[in-house]
Amino acid sequence: GQNIDQPTEMTATEGAIVQINCTYQTSGFNGLFWYQQHAGEAPTFLSYNVLDGLEEKGRFSSFLSRSKGYSYLLLKELQMKDSASYLCARLDSNYQLIWGAGTKLIIKP
Amino acid sequence: NAGVTQTPKFRILKIGQSMTLQCTQDMNHNYMYWYRQDPGMGLKLIYYSVGAGITDKGEVPNGYNVSRSTTEDFPLRLELAAPSQTSVYFCASSPGTSDIDEQFFGPGTRLTVL
């Protein structure tokens, strides 16, 4: 199918590092997006990966392994404002986004 | 720029009623999308448009209709509302210059059908 799997919820401590994993179907793959969504708000773009490897953008990094159908989002130096849901989305062969259900990240002081 | 705007923010409908969810973008984007987001589920694509006068079905189009008469506006019409259409509806747009453009989302419309 078109399943995208990511953990439902994660908890981390302020100032720490957290890795949010995402696995997806590899056929018809045209790239992998990560979006952030605060409760009651719209998703906002974080990153896009189409080639294998790590893309770093400030405190946030995203990794892709196309052969394994695997991506992760790495958040460093966690801040309370990082409490949000993180949505993994695969760009399919029709260039449409197939979305995971999101990972709710809870940051504790 | 206001970006992507949606109205209304909230709405309660009775079963069988109809309504139009409005979406406008002022970024001159070619591509526009309508998604619904149910609790614990990923965003599902309802309809999308690659330009004025062109619309296409997404993954879950049944019970909805769209039109795209201008670049700026992409209204979503619900005919004969059903409880299964209770959801949060997001409109999004992207430049359309590349298939890998990021999408910009509106604030959402929270719809309840009773």
Q: Smallest Cα–Cα separation from A87: which of A3, A22, A1?
A: A22
Residue A19 tokens read as 């890795």
Are B111 and B85 within 8 A, CB to CB?
A: yes
- Which of B100, B101, B104, B110 to mutate: most A Cβ within 10 Å? B100
- Average pLDDT by stretches of 10, chain A with 109 residues: 86 98 90 95 94 94 96 98 97 88 96
Cis ω on the peptide bond leading into residue B8 (within 30° of 0)?
Answer: yes
- Which of A55, A94, A95, A97 to mutate: most B Cβ within 10 Å? A97
Q: How many CB atoms lie within 10 A of CB B95?
A: 14
Q: How far is CA A29 from the centre of its chain?
A: 16
Tens-place pLDDT, residues B32-83 = 999 999 988 889 999 999 999 999 999 999 999 999 999 999 999 999 999 9
Sign of CA dihedral A102, A95, B3, A34: positive
Beta strands A9-13 and A103-108 are parallel
Phi/psi at A66 (nearest 5 deg)?
A: -70, -40
Q: Smallest Cα–Cα separation from A35: which of A81, A89, A72?
A: A89
Tens-place pLDDT, residues B6-31 = 999 999 999 999 999 999 999 999 99
Phi/psi at A38 (nearest 5 deg)?
A: -75, 155
CB contact under 8 A, B102 and A42: no
CB contact under 8 A, B103 and A30: no
Give the per-residue pLDDT at B2: 86
Residue B58 tokens read as 């997404």
Residue B102 tokens read as 């990021």
Question: Which residues are CB-neighbours of B72 under 8 A, at least 6 positions away?
Answer: B24, B25, B26
